[in-house]
Amino acid sequence: DLVNRGPDSLKVLEYLYSINESVVNVLGNHDFHLIALALTDRKLRSKDNSLSPILSSTNKINLIEWLRHQPLFHMEKERDTLIVHAGVHPSWSLEMIKKYAEEIQSIIRGDDASVFLKAMYTDDSWSSNLIGNKRFNAIVNSFTRMRYLNELGECDFKVKDSPEKVADDLIPWYLYPNRKMKNDLIVFGHWSSLGYFYNHNVVCLDGGCVWGGELVAVDISNPDVPIKINSLKSK
C-alpha cells in the first residue's frame, strides 16, 4: 500500500509521483480504496484520516490519475522475481497473471472505472467461471487481499493471524498444493502477522510498521538478509 499506512499519505504520494521514473509501485487494497473514494460517491471511513488531505489536495487529479496507472504486479525477468501486494492465486501461471492484471488495469484506467469501483467491495474468490464484476472483484482480491485458502480453493479474507495460530483447514496461498508460480521468487506484503518471512520461494516484507513493528526491505538477489528499521510508532 502506498497510502493509509501512516500519518501523511499525501506526502508519500507526492514524493513517489515526483520520482516516478525511479520507482516501481504495485497497487494494494488501500490504493484501490483511495481510487474508489476519488471516483465515486463512497464516503470516508473513520480510519481513512490520512486520505482526506489527498482528496482535498489541489494536486488530487494528477495524483489519482497517476495512481490509476500503477500496475498490479511487477516482474523482474532477469531474476525470475514477481512483486505483488498480497499474492497470486495458486492456480495462476505468469501468463494468467498478466492477462488478469491487464483486465483490471484497463478498467480502472478507463472512463467507466467508477462503475466497477462502486461494486468492488465484496469477498469474491477466484473461479474461472466468474463473469462481470464478480470476476473483476475476485482478481483484485487475489492480488491485494489474499492470505489463506481452504481446501476448495476459496479465499478466507477474515483470518489475518500467522499460520501457526490458524486451523489446519486454512492454507497460506504460498503453501497451496500445485502452486503454478512456485519456481519464481514472489515478494509480497499485506500480512503483518506473518512479518518478514523467506521460505518456499516467497518473501514477505510486511513487518507491521504501521502497528509499531518494522519497515522491512530486501535486495532481491539476497532476500535472506533483510534490512529493518523500527517504526516510529510504539506498539
Tens of pLDDT, residue by residue over 85-115, are 999 999 999 999 999 999 999 999 999 999 9
Distances (CA, A) of 210 to 1, 156, 231, 234: 11, 23, 7, 9
Q: Average pLDDT in the 205-220 region?
A: 95
Element (H, E) at 217: strand 214-217
Q: Measured on CA atoms in the order 56, 59, 62, 67, is the torsion positive or negative?
A: negative
Per-chain mean pLDDT for the chain: 96
Q: What is the mean pLDDT of residues 133-154?
A: 97
Domains and CATH numbers, the chain: 71-230 (3.60.21.10)
Residue 233 in this model has a pLDDT that exceeds 80: no
176-192 burial string, b = 16+ CB within 10 Å, else e?
beebbbeebbbbbbbbb
pLDDT (tens digit per residue) in 57-92: 999 999 999 999 999 999 998 889 999 999 999 999
